[in-house]
Amino acid sequence: MKILVTGAAGFIGAALVEALARRADVESIIAVDQSEPPAPHAKVEAVTGNLAYAPMARSVVDAGIDAIFHLASLVSGGAEQNFELGMKVNFDATRDLLEAARLAGRCPKFVFTSSIAVYRGANLEVTDDTRPAPRLSYGAQKLMCEVMIDDYSRRNFVDGRCLRLPTVLVRPGAANTAVSGWSSAIIREPLAGRDYTCPVNPLTRMACVSVTRVVESLIHASQVPAADFGSDRTLVMTGIPVSAQAMLDAVRKAAGRGSQIGKVRFEPDPAAQALMDLVAKSTFSARAARLGFKHSASIEEIIAEYIEERSS
C-alpha cells in the first residue's frame, strides 16, 4: 500500500507514521506537514508544505495512493482565535484533498480525525445517539468535513471513515492550541520533575484515550470493510471519563512512593473552566465496539503506556 499522512509532524501523526512504517503491507508513506515531519524509516518520504495553499493537495495525491490519513488541523483554541485560518486548514484543505482524490480516480480509503468537539453541553455523556451541536468553529468545521466525506463516499470518490476522537493522552512535547492541553500537561510535567499550574478545578472530567489506542484505531478504521460502515462513515470513539484529580493521583501512583515529581497546583482560570465545563465528560460507542475498535481501560493504563514509550 502507498499511503499519505497529513499532520505527520503532529502528536498523533508522528506516532501513526511510525506504526504504519513498521507494517509489512505498507510499501511507502508520504508524510506531509507544514513543519518538517520526522522520517523514521526508509519507507517514509517527508514533505514539508502548507495545506492551506490549495495546490498542495494535488501535489501529494495521485492515482497511486491507496489510503489517505488526514490529520492536519488547526485545533480548537487556534481555530476559535483565527476563524479564517481555521476554515482554510480544517475545511478547505479537507475539501482540496477530497477533490484531489476524486480527480485521481482511484477511490482511496480516506481516514479523517474528527473530534468530540462536534458535541457541546453541560455534563454531557455522549453515546452513538447523541446529536452533534458544535459551539466552537473547530467542531463545526469537523462536522462539515464529516458530511462532505459521507457524500464523497456515497459517490465512490473516496472510501471515507471519520473517527470522532476524545482527548488523546499524553502529548509529549510543547502544547498546541488545544483547549484541553492541561490534561496532558498534568501528567507530563510532574513526571518530568517540573511543577505545573493546572487552569481547571480538580473535579473537571474529560473523555480520554491513549495515543496508542488512537493509532491502532486509525489503522483499524482503514481496514474495516466499507459495508460494515454503511452509509454513515462517522464513528465516535469511546473515551473513559477521568478527572484532573484522578490524573494526578494516577501520576503519583505510577511514579511510586518517595519519587521526586513536580508539584501541581490548581488555579482555575474562569475562561478555561467555562470551556471545559461544556466538553463531553465521557463517550461510549457500542457501534465502535461492534466494529472491533478498542478503547483505553483506565488512566493507569494510559500513563503506563506513556512511561513505557518515553523510556523506549
Ligand X SMILES: NC(=O)c1ccc[n+]([C@@H]2O[C@H](COP(=O)([O-])OP(=O)(O)OC[C@H]3O[C@@H](n4cnc5c(N)ncnc54)[C@H](O)[C@@H]3O)[C@@H](O)[C@H]2O)c1
Which stretches of the chain bind ligand X, using CB under 6 A?
7, 9-13, 33-35, 50-52, 71-75, 89, 113, 115, 165, 167-168, 176
- Cα–Cα distance for residue pair 150/219, rounded to 1 Å: 19
Contact status, residue 3 vs residue 69, Cβ threshold 8 Å: yes
**Which CB sits closer to ligand X, 153 or 183?**
183
* Minimum distance, C-beta of residue 260 to ligand X, in the bound complex (Å): 28
**Which CB sits closer to ligand X, 90 or 261?**
90
* Minimum distance, C-beta of residue 89 to ligand X, in the bound complex (Å): 4
* Minimum distance, C-beta of residue 232 to ligand X, in the bound complex (Å): 19
* Minimum distance, C-beta of residue 146 to ligand X, in the bound complex (Å): 12
Report the side by side order of strands in the sheet with 205-210: 167-169, 205-210, 240-243
Q: Which of 119, 138, 152, 306 does the annotation list as catalytic?
A: 138
Contact status, residue 310 vs residue 173, Cβ threshold 8 Å: no
**Which CB sits closer to ligand X, 57 or 248?**
57
**Which CB sits closer to ligand X, 17 or 74?**
74
* Minimum distance, C-beta of residue 224 to ligand X, in the bound complex (Å): 19
- Cα–Cα distance for residue pair 79/177, rounded to 1 Å: 8
Residue 306 annotated to the active site: no
- Cα–Cα distance for residue pair 84/311, rounded to 1 Å: 40
- Cα–Cα distance for residue pair 299/295, rounded to 1 Å: 11
**Which CB sits closer to ligand X, 71 or 276?**
71
Secondary structure class of 92 (helix, strand, coil): helix
* Minimum distance, C-beta of residue 117 to ligand X, in the bound complex (Å): 7
Q: What letter represents residue 12's amino acid? A: I
**Which CB sits closer to ligand X, 156 or 298?**
298
Contact status, residue 262 vs residue 192, Cβ threshold 8 Å: yes
Contact status, residue 75 vs residue 113, Cβ threshold 8 Å: no
* Residues noted as catalytic: 138
